[in-house]
């Protein structure tokens, strides 16, 4: 696939890191230098890492794999949901659900409960309940939707996770590592990338930087889905 050009990454502010004092030692190989007290990320290395990550993602999706989008940063929510839905992938944007990977049965119960509530609320069955009961049901449905609504179509554990900020959502990374789920993550200069399988060094605070990363990962998934369709057609012909 076509990766964003270095100039595009530059315009999006992907190169801005943090102050040297906040730099994690494992991120030093991805740093070009320091300007005006700020670490500058080497965008050539960002493109190299993006290429590795997108190749992996496309191949995984072509084989039918599922990738869970994760970011609990408020400024990321809308664009992440938009991109995840575009490629029919699960997502988490409100807060990480403890035990999502290590105790998936409990989360599955919440998902089933949400689906049942949606069925009642969106059908004539809701009329059987009092107005007070209807309000309570809708409130519970909204609460559950915020927590597990993005996981409704996820069957079992995902084949990989994509995280926007490795530091902010470290709990998700730790859980994924425990279950041997591959981790793709955008890592700023202050992130600890030890558990990340595919490190994408980039600014994880600037909206434009986040958007270009999300857009690139989404396109890699779309490419994988196209390859998957080609495979199905080839099998049908046989």
User: In Å, what is the CA distance from 66 to each residue of 91, 151, 154, 155, 182?
Assistant: 11, 11, 8, 9, 11
**Looking at residues 40-44, what average pLDDT do you find?**
97
User: In Å, what is the CA distance from 204 to each residue of 23, 111, 188, 228?
Assistant: 14, 30, 6, 31
Place of tokens 């230098």: 33
**Looking at residues 106-114, what average pLDDT do you find?**
90
pLDDT reading at 156 higher than 90: no
pLDDT in tens, 11-28: 999 999 999 999 999 999
pLDDT in tens, 162-214: 999 999 999 999 999 999 999 999 999 999 999 999 999 999 999 999 999 99
Q: How far apart are CA 183 and CA 172, in angstroms?
A: 9
Q: How far apart are CA 37 and CA 17, in angstroms?
A: 10
Which pLDDT score, from 0 to 100, does residue 102 have? 87
Q: Which of 49-53, 54-58, 94-98 has the lowest mean pLDDT?
A: 94-98
Whole-model pTM: value is 0.91
Q: Could you give the dihedral angle defined by the CA atoms of residues 93, 99, 102 and 107, in that order, rounded to the nearest 10 degrees?
A: -80
State percent of the chain over pLDDT 90: 82
Domains of the chain with bracketed CATH: 6-101+157-237 (3.40.50.10490), 104-150 (1.10.287)
Place of tokens 């059987």: 128
Which residues are bridge partners to 70 per DSSP? Answer: 92, 163
Which pLDDT score, from 0 to 100, does residue 125 have? 82
Instruction: Name the pLDDT band for 115 (thresholds 50, 70, 90).
Output: very high
- 53-81 burial, b for 16+ CB within 10 Å, e for fewer? bbebbbebbbeebbbbbbbbeeebeebbb
Of the candidates 45, 35, 37, 41, the residue with the CA atom closest to the CA atom of residue 17: 41
The DSSP code for 5 is P
Which pLDDT score, from 0 to 100, does residue 237 have? 61
């Amino acid at each position: 696939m076509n990766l964003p050009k270095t100039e595009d990454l530059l315009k999006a502010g992907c190169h801005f890191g943090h102050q040297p004092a906040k730099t994690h030692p494992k991120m030093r190989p991805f740093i070009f230098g320091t300007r005006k007290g700020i670490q500058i990320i080497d965008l050539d290395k960002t493109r190299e890492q993006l290429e590795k990550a997108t190749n992996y993602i496309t191949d995984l999706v072509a084989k039918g794999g599922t990738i869970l989008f994760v970011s609990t940063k408020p400024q990321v929510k809308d664009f992440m949901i938009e991109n995840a839905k575009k490629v029919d992938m699960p997502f988490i944007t409100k807060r990480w659900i403890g035990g999502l990977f290590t105790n998936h049965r409990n989360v599955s119960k919440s998902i089933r409960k949400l689906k049942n509530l949606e069925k009642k609320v969106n059908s004539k069955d809701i009329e059987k309940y009092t107005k007070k009961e209807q309000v309570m049901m809708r409130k519970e449905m909204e609460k559950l939707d915020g927590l597990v609504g993005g996981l409704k179509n996820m069957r079992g554990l995902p084949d990989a996770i994509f995280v926007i900020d490795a530091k902010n959502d470290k709990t998700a990374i730790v859980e994924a590592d425990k279950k041997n789920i591959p981790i793709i993550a955008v890592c700023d200069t202050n992130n600890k990338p030890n558990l990340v399988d595919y490190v994408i060094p980039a600014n994880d605070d600037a909206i434009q930087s986040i958007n270009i990363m999300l857009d690139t990962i989404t396109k890699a998934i779309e490419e994988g889905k196209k390859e998957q369709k080609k495979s199905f057609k080839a099998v049908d012909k046989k």
